[in-house]
Amino acid sequence: VVLKSTGEQSLLSSIMSLVTFSPAEPPLLWEIKTQPDYSYYAYFVLAMEDQLEENAGLRVEISKALAKKDSCTVDHALKKVTKKLKLRWNPQPYRLSIYRWANQALVTSADHPVLPLIWQKFFKLFFERPKAEPG
């Protein structure tokens, strides 16, 4: 099947741009709010955002910065890491995956089938620690 492209971006290329986004810019769906009615959709969008943080090295660098200083806040660590990684976008603390997974877990109904997966993603991030550097 050949997809016909119109003057605008085709549906397939739009979807592919979300899947293969670069770490230089966040995906188009970055602004999604937590959705109790669309938990499956929110799960997949949050998974893409989570992958963005990982691809950009954001999560690893933030955890390293927070591990170095006890008095370092998330805001301060995020500013330092953004400069260090030379990101073209400015991530906000409330947009970090760990907060977004927690919010989604709290608004998803207790009997929803995707809730255990949402909690699993949250606790994976919550218990993740920076790897010890050799030397």
Q: Is the pLDDT of residue 126 over 60?
A: yes
Residue-wise pLDDT tens digits, 12-71: 555 555 555 555 555 555 556 666 788 898 999 899 889 988 888 888 888 888 888 666
Which range has the worst mean pLDDT, 12-16, 68-72, 91-95, 123-127? 12-16
Kind and range of the H or E run holding 105? helix 97-107
Here the tokens at position 17 are 């741009």
pLDDT of residue 16: 53
pLDDT of residue 14: 56
pTM of the predicted model over 0.75: no
* pLDDT at residue 116 tops 50: yes
Report whether 26 contacts 52 (CB < 8 A).
Answer: yes
pLDDT at 114 over 70: yes
Q: For the chain, which residues make up each domain, given as ranges?
A: 25-127
pLDDT band at 73 (very low <50, low <70, confident <90, very high): confident
Taking the alpha carbons at both ends of the chain, their separation in whole angstroms is 55
Cα(128)–Cα(135) distance, integer angstroms: 21
